[in-house]
Amino acid sequence: MLAVRDLTVAFPPARGKGDATVALDRLTLEVSRGEFVAVLGPSGCGKSTLLRAWGGLLVERARVSGEIAVPRASDGTRATAWMPQRDGLLPWRRALSNAMVGAIAAGVPRERALPRARALLVEFGLGGFEDAWPHELSGGMRQRLALLRTCLTERPVLLLDEPFGALDPVTRRRMNAWLASVGLVSQDGERAVALVTHDVDEAITLADRIVVMSGRPGRIVHEVQAHGESRYDREALLASLDA
Amino acid sequence: MTPRTRAALVGGVTVAVLIAAWEAAVRMGDLPPFVLPAPSHVAATAVGSAPLLGPHVLTTATEAVLGLALGATVGWLLAVLTATIPTTGQVAQPVVLLSQTIPTVVLAPLMILWAGFGLTSKVVLVALTVFFPVLIASSAAIRDVDAEHADMVAGLGGTRRHQLWIVRLPASVPGALAGLRIAATYAVGAAVVSEYLAGASGIGVFIQRSRKAYAVDQIFVGIALIAILTAVLVLAIVALRRALTPWQPAHARL
Ligand SMILES: Nc1ncnc2c1ncn2[C@@H]1O[C@H](COP(=O)(O)OP(=O)(O)OP(=O)(O)O)[C@@H](O)[C@H]1O
Ligand SMILES: [Mg+2]
C-alpha cells in the first residue's frame, strides 16, 4: 500500500557551486497492509528523507525521480500521518490541545476526537497532564504526546521518524516496550506503520520486518522478516549495519 | 530578598538620590527657578495646575493608545500577510522602508494638512512610528517557528489554511507583543511631538504654552507626565503579554 520505486532524492548545494547531496539512490521498498516495517540505517543515510517523501514534505528544491506511491483516502487526501523526528509540539498549546492538532489538521470532528484524546492520554501515560504546557513535560512525555497527536488523525498509515530518538537508552527501551504493547497495527489489517531509526533494538522490538540501509546515499543492503520466538538475529543485523 | 524586589529597590534608591542631588544643587547653587527649578518647586507646580492638566493628559493618552493599537494592528497584519503570501512582502517592502527613512516630524505637517488638527492626524503619526518595530518583531517570530511546525501540520494532513491558523498566527503573537513593548516607549513621545506642531489640547500643547510663558517649572511637569504616561503604557503592555502568552516563563516576558 505504501511504496517507493527507484526513488532518488538529491539536494542541490545550498549556495551555487559544489556537488548535490544524494540522500537516496534508486531506493525500492514496499510496506504492505497490516505491516510494521522498521527502516534501520546510520545517521544521514536518508531515513527522514524517505518518510518526508511519503508524507509529501520534501523541500521544493529537492530533485526527485522515481515513483512514490501513497494510499489515498476517498477524498483524494493522503492517508498518511507523519511524526517528525523532533516532536514539533506547539509551545502555546497545552498538552490536550497539542494532541488535538492531529484531529484538526486531518479534519476529524471535534466531538469524536476529544473523548478519544482524553482516553488516549491516559493510555499513553499522560493522564493528569492534559493542561500542562509542553515545556513542563519530560522528553519522553513530549514524544508520547507527539505520537498521540499522530494517532488522532485516524489515518491508517503512520510514518514515524525516530519516535523515541531523543531519549536516553533506558527510557527508550521502556518506551519501545510500551509502544509494542499499544499494538499500532495488530488490531486491524487496514493499518500500516513505517518507522525509521538507527537503533537496532528499537527495530527488533517493534517491527514485523526490518530493512537495513547503507550509509549515504541510502540503498537497501539487508532485509529480514521477524520469525520464531527470538524474532531476529541481532548479531547478523548489527553486522549488516557495519558493512 | 528576591532578585526582583532587590532590582526595584536599587532602581528606586538611584532615582531618589538623583532627585535629592538635583534639589541640593539648585539650593546651593542658588539657581533662579526660570533656569532650573528645584524638584520640590516642580511638584508644587504640578499640584497647583492639576485641574488644568487633566484634559491635556487625556488627549495625549488617547492619541498614544489609539496610535499604538492602529500601528500594532497594521504591523502585525502586514507580517502575517507577508508570511502567507510572499508577493505582498515584496510589494510592501520598499514602501515600508521608504516610510521609515522619513522622520515623523517631517511628515507631521502633511498629515495635519490632510487629516486636520484633531485626533486623526496624531493617531496616524503615532501609528507610523509604531508599526515598524511590530512588523519586524512579528515577522522574525513567524520565521523562527515556521518550517518545523508548518511541516508538522502538513504531515498530519493540514492545508495551508490550517498552517496559518494553527502555526503562523499564534507564532506571531509573542513577536508582535515584543515589538509593541518597544514601540510603547516612544508612542507618547511621538504624540507630544505632533502636538507641538498643531493642536488645541495635549501635553505637547501644554509644554509649548509654558515655553511661551517662560514657565520652566511647567515644562518640567510636562516632561514628568510624559515619563509617567510612558511607564504606565509599558506596564500595561507587559501585563497584556502575561495574559496573552501564559506559556512563556516570566523572565522571557519583560
Ligand atoms: N532540506 C535539505 N537540504 C539539504 N540537504 C538535506 C536536506 N534534508 C536532508 N538533507 C541531506 O540528506 C541526507 C539525508 O538526510 P536525512 O535527514 O534523511 O538523514 P537521516 O537518515 O534521517 O539521518 P538521522 O538519523 O541523523 O536523522 C543528509 O546528508 C542531509 O544532509
Ligand atoms: Mg532523520
Q: What is the pLDDT of residues A168-202, one digit of tens each?
A: 777 777 777 777 776 666 556 678 889 998 888 88
pLDDT, position B231: 93
CA distance A218 to A23: 6
- Does residue A145 sit in helix, strand or coil? helix
pLDDT, position B249: 72
Helices (H) and strands (E) in chain B, counts: 10, 0
**Cell for A212?**
537495513
Q: What is the CATH number of the domain that holds B186?
A: 1.10.3720.10
A167 and A144 belong to one structural domain: no
Task: List chain A residues with pLDDT less than 70.
Answer: 166, 182-189, 228-230
**Cell for A228?**
520464531
pLDDT, position B113: 87
Residues 124-183 of chain B with CB under 8 A from chain A are 148-149, 151-158, 162, 166-167, 170-171, 173
- Considering just the CA atoms, what is the radius of gyration of chain A in Å? 18
pLDDT, position A187: 52
Residue B252 pLDDT greater than 60, yes or no:
no
pLDDT, position A188: 60
Q: Is residue B8 part of a domain?
A: no
Residue B189 pLDDT greater than 70, yes or no:
yes
Q: Which of A80, A86, A133 sits opposite B148 (nearest CB)?
A: A86
CB pair distance less than 8 Å for B157 and A106: yes
Question: How much distance in Å is there from the Cα of B150 to the middle of ligand 1?
Answer: 18
Residue recorded with cell 504493547: A181
Q: Is residue A148 part of a domain?
A: yes
Q: What is the DSSP letter of B38?
A: -
Q: Structurally, how many domains does chain B consist of?
A: 1
CA distance B80 to A23: 34
pLDDT, position B108: 82
Taking the model in full, what pTM does it have?
A: 0.81
A136 interfaces chain B, CB cutoff of 8 Å: no
Question: How much distance in Å is there from the Cα of A30 to the middle of ligand 1?
Answer: 21
Phi, psi (degrees; rounded to nearest 5) at A210: -120, 130
Name the domain boundary from A123, A155, A187. A155
Q: Which of B155, B166, B170 sits opposite A104 (nearest CB)?
A: B166
- Does residue A44 sit in helix, strand or coil? coil
CA distance B250 to B254: 7
CA distance A43 to A24: 13
pLDDT, position A152: 92
Pick the atom of ligand 1 nearest to A85's CA: 27
A132 and A233 belong to one structural domain: no
Q: Is residue A97 part of a domain?
A: yes
The residue ranking higher by pLDDT, B13 or B254, is B13
- Structural domain of B114: 51-253
Q: Is residue B46 part of a domain?
A: no
- Structural domain of A209: 2-79+156-242
Q: Is residue A37 part of a domain?
A: yes
The residue ranking higher by pLDDT, A223 or B208, is B208
Q: Which of A82, A88, A104 sits opposite B149 (nearest CB)?
A: A88
Q: Is residue B160 part of a domain?
A: yes
| DSSP secondary structure, B65-83, as one string | HHHHHHHHHHHHHHHHHHH
The residue ranking higher by pLDDT, A4 or B2, is A4
The residue ranking higher by pLDDT, B142 or A227, is B142
Q: Structurally, how many domains does chain A consist of?
A: 2
ipTM field: 0.88
Question: How much distance in Å is there from the Cα of A145 to the middle of ligand 1?
Answer: 24
Find out whether the beta carbon of A198 lies less than 6 Å from any atom of ligand 1.
Answer: yes
The residue ranking higher by pLDDT, A174 or B175, is B175
A29 and A97 belong to one structural domain: no
Give, for ligand 1, the residue of A11, A52, A58 to mutate: max count of ligand atoms closer than 8 Å to Cβ.
A11
Shortest alpha-carbon distance between residue B163 and chain A (Å): 9
Residue B251 pLDDT greater than 60, yes or no:
no
Q: Is residue B39 part of a domain?
A: no
Residue B250 pLDDT greater than 90, yes or no:
no
Q: Is residue A85 part of a domain?
A: no
Residue B46 pLDDT greater than 90, yes or no:
no
A73 and A6 belong to one structural domain: yes
Taking CA B81 as the corner, what is the angle to CA B142 and CA B132, rounded to the nearest 5 degrees?
A: 75
CB pair distance less than 8 Å for B148 and A84: yes
Residue B216 pLDDT greater than 60, yes or no:
yes
Q: What is the CATH number of the domain that holds A178?
A: 3.40.50.300
Residue B84 pLDDT greater than 60, yes or no:
yes
pLDDT, position A195: 92
Find out whether the beta carbon of A11 lies less than 6 Å from any atom of ligand 1.
Answer: yes
